[in-house]
Structure 1
Amino acid sequence: MEKLKFNILAGLFVLSSISAFAEGHLPANIQTAFQKLYPQATGVEWEQMAGCYVAEFIVGSHEVDVWFNKQAEWVMTETDVESLKKIPNPVAEAFMDSTMAGMRLRDVRIITFPKHPTVIILEVEQYNSDREFQLFYAPDGKLLQSLDVTELGGEIYPELFLNDF
């Protein structure tokens, strides 16, 4: 029941954030900052989450989410690469040697920041269960953090990494 309540609240939050831009209220400074970073991006959809403006678009076969704070400063980029073959070998090897390797791999994301090291997130779930985990790796294969996100969902947002936003 708690999970259902959370999913309903999360859905309402997403709907309200998307509708904020349905009428074209994206601040010009945010749009300008985005176009400087990704001048070739097309099919961009905007939403507001966790106090940031988020541009979502496709590059090649990868979904990309670019986060900006209210001052139009780039906060982070999340690239969904969906495969262990597209991340640094030390990370893939560390995961394959871990106890989590026996779980179903759901998602692989690379998170980049303007002033902080890159983080690779592997999201896994136990077979025949609702248990989900996010594994945070440094590019050298060091496991930085493991989060049980069973009740929280798998949303990635800046506060997971940085405390200065």
Structure 2
Amino acid sequence: MEMNSLIFECSNMKNGEKFPVEHTGRGRDISPEFIIQNLSSYAKTLAIILEDIKHPVFKDFTHWLIFNIPAREKIDGDIPGGKILSCLGNARQGIGYGLYKYAGPKPPKGRQHLYRFTMYALDSEIDLTGLPTKKRFMKMAKGHIIQQGSIVGKYE
């Protein structure tokens, strides 16, 4: 089965544009809403990773990891913190700048960074025991990702 791109929109932000303040560490620091347009019928779960792709020290610095979201065409914004989210079908959040929660952009004042949301559609849940880091998640997800897509936003 050939993997096609996952197309999704992020509330109040178009690809390549400025990150809305409410979704940053200088605003309400809440996760945006996601609308998925071409989700495969084979998708069982979704995962989202937010990374600072212009971090001067850490390559693709992880801000947020959430996985095992039951496959759906809309993910509401303002996802609460916590390791396991019963409100979202027992989705799990991992370790990043946001420790088991969303943590939006907050670069040093006067420095513009680029941030990327990558969404993955998977054919199964990922049973990640121990520390749920991006690296460990990606290793476990290998072979289960059937679609992926990304949106980039900038913020300073």
Q: Same fold (TM over 0.5)?
A: no
TM-score, normalization by structure 2: 0.29
- Larger RCO (CA under 8 A, 6+ residues apart): 2
Q: Which of the two has greater helix per residue?
A: 1
Rg larger in 1 or in 2?
1
